[in-house]
A and B are shown apart, each in its own frame.
Chain A
């Protein structure tokens, strides 16, 4: 019991209001370092709200959101420094190249990374070398996202927050992405992935939390077979009514 590491991300009876309406009601879950946690849910159930709360953009009405053991509201800047965020749109500056975008955001984060490190990160995400000097305006969604992930890599933050990372990607790109996430988790990072892609989540996550009506209605872990049962999760996802 004594050497249980503190959870990287923890939500404890988290309730968040948006526009006066309750979106999260007593949500509780945790993500450990080295774990990929998939937060699954339909549209409008509060997945983005959860991420935004951890990032310190929203304040909980009650309950706590903790990053590395400390409540986010106590030290928002510190919490953000510990997290690398991949927004759904993966939007960066259209008129800058991949290198320039990385340089800008890294400087913004007060990090020093040389060209070699950027190359390595872009290699890891498998971005075509000939595209790296071109303005991002000409990239496909997949390519843009690769740059965004490269940024997250270069941030070298212990926590990774992903918002619908595979929406709009083709199957090859999705597979590449999942392999990368797995590798990152194996390297010790805590990954919170918010998605509605049941199949993909089951492939890559260690645990899956099903979000319905603002709270978890079920948590699924990998069985002895190695990965989570897709059928089980799908069934729970599509079951009607609140749990």
Chain B
């Protein structure tokens, strides 16, 4: 019998199923709410960014006006750096809720600035927001379980199971078709708002299709699981409880165990140590012979060797040199910290297949550029920008150029 006829036949039967209608409607509403809230949040973030950029410019220009010399200007001017939300970020806000995506930095030692957290209300971050990724990873499986768990148990309870099995030709029928229709209806209802949101945001088609494919595959995983358990000859309550147990295992227990295991397996240097080390290095420099600091600096920047002598107790070029030396001293720890986080993430990426909900979240976050890799890319851009700032100011400081506001026009922008 052709698939189409089967779908039509079962579809006519399912169309009268009010309970299924409720589940599908619920899915649509929840997915819609998730997408809507994501769209609102992204719009708010973008508005905030443009507002801040303006304020930042005003503040910097004011600082530049008040400090007509290179050293003070460099000391007092702040620059806004940011990671704007991508056009798929509405679906998976990911690490944007717990990692800062904006920093105002100046030319001082970077290690003291780049680790600050600009997180919002920690209680809200702890409770977790309702975005599409959360909905798809955790709520959608429960809906699928709801519509599929009593696929056969329902018929057994009604006394129709044997008749259906005896009448239907071919193995797996009518269960497979019914499961397909029920699961398909729910998944369709879930994806519709996502596609709508993508249209609003102007998300690229490849991204939308990939995301939809991920959600469908994920739905297939849970659908197959529910279908397999639904075939058991036990009460639907028992089947439901078993599926809930599996949901709890995959959603909470496995990820938490993996997290604890990975954290234990890949130790990180203490963040506090990075801060302490950098501070000590920066402050020691005040007491060390200038030559020691300048040597450490010039080792990295031999081009300034001709200008590297410092005779007065204070000179801006020396001040900024020891700021950089502070960074250099903390660099091994900072690199180790970064490497440790990356190692943890790589391990997580490999093992997360054991926890499909987390796998889906990570996949969606990768598409939305809100995962750890995107965050590190942003951090790298900040570091690069800081390097550009230094490259701009060093010639002016070392060659002792006279102050000229015109030159500021060439100041690097993020």
Contact = CB atoms under 8 A, between A and B. Distances in A.
Q: Do chains A and B touch in the complex (CB under 8 A)?
A: yes
B51 interface: no
A108 B164 contact: yes
A154 B280 CA distance: 92
Contact of B167 (A57, A88, A91, A109): A109
Contacts of A80: 165-167, 169
Contacts of A148: 163
A52 interface: yes
A228 B260 CA distance: 77
Given A77-B171, A92-B160, A104-B9, A57 B165 contact: yes
B98 to A, nearest CB: 50
Contacts of A85: 162-163, 166-167
Given A55-B165, A87-B163, 13 more contacts: A77-B171, A80-B166, A80-B169, A85-B163, A85-B167, A89-B159, A91-B158, A91-B160, A92-B163, A104-B13, A105-B167, A108-B167, A110-B169
B126 interface: no
Nearest to A52: B162
A55 B167 contact: no
Interface in A76-102: 77, 80-81, 83, 85, 87-89, 91-96
Find the residue from A52, A96, A110 having the highest chain B CB count within 10 A.
A110
Q: What 5 A-B pairs are tightest by C-beta distance, nearest first?
A: A89-B159, A91-B159, A85-B166, A108-B168, A91-B160
Nearest to B169: A110
B170 interface: yes
Contacts of B165: 55, 57, 80
A179 interface: no
Contacts of B9: 104, 107-108
A209 B386 CA distance: 96
Interface string B151-181: 0000000111011111111110110000000
A192 to B, nearest CB: 13
A81 B168 CA distance: 8
A96 to B, nearest CB: 8
Contacts of A83: 166
A77 B170 contact: yes
B160 A95 contact: no
Nearest to B171: A77
19 contacts: A55-B162, A55-B165, A77-B169, A80-B165, A81-B169, A85-B166, A87-B159, A87-B162, A91-B158, A91-B159, A92-B163, A95-B16, A105-B167, A108-B169, A108-B174, A109-B167, A109-B168, A109-B169, A110-B169
Interface string B12-27: 1100100000000000
A96 B160 CA distance: 14
Interface in A92-135: 92-96, 104-105, 107-110
Interface of A: 52, 55, 57, 77, 80-81, 83, 85, 87-89, 91-96, 104-105, 107-110, 148, 151, 155
A91 B155 CA distance: 9
B410 interface: no
B1 interface: yes
B1 A110 contact: yes
B131 to A, nearest CB: 38
B171 A55 contact: no
A148 B1 CA distance: 23
A52 B163 CA distance: 11
A155 B168 CA distance: 12
Contacts of B170: 77
A114 to B, nearest CB: 16
A79 to B, nearest CB: 10
Contacts of A104: 9, 12-13
Find the residue from A85, A89, A94, A107 having the highest chain B CB count within 10 A.
A107
A91 B170 CA distance: 22
Contacts of B1: 110
A23 B165 CA distance: 22
A57 B169 contact: no
Contacts of A107: 5, 9
Nearest to B9: A107
A109 B167 CA distance: 5
Given A85-B167, A93-B13, A108-B167, A57 B162 contact: yes
A228 B57 CA distance: 107
A151 B167 CA distance: 10
Nearest to A78: B169
B10 to A, nearest CB: 9
A57 B163 CA distance: 11
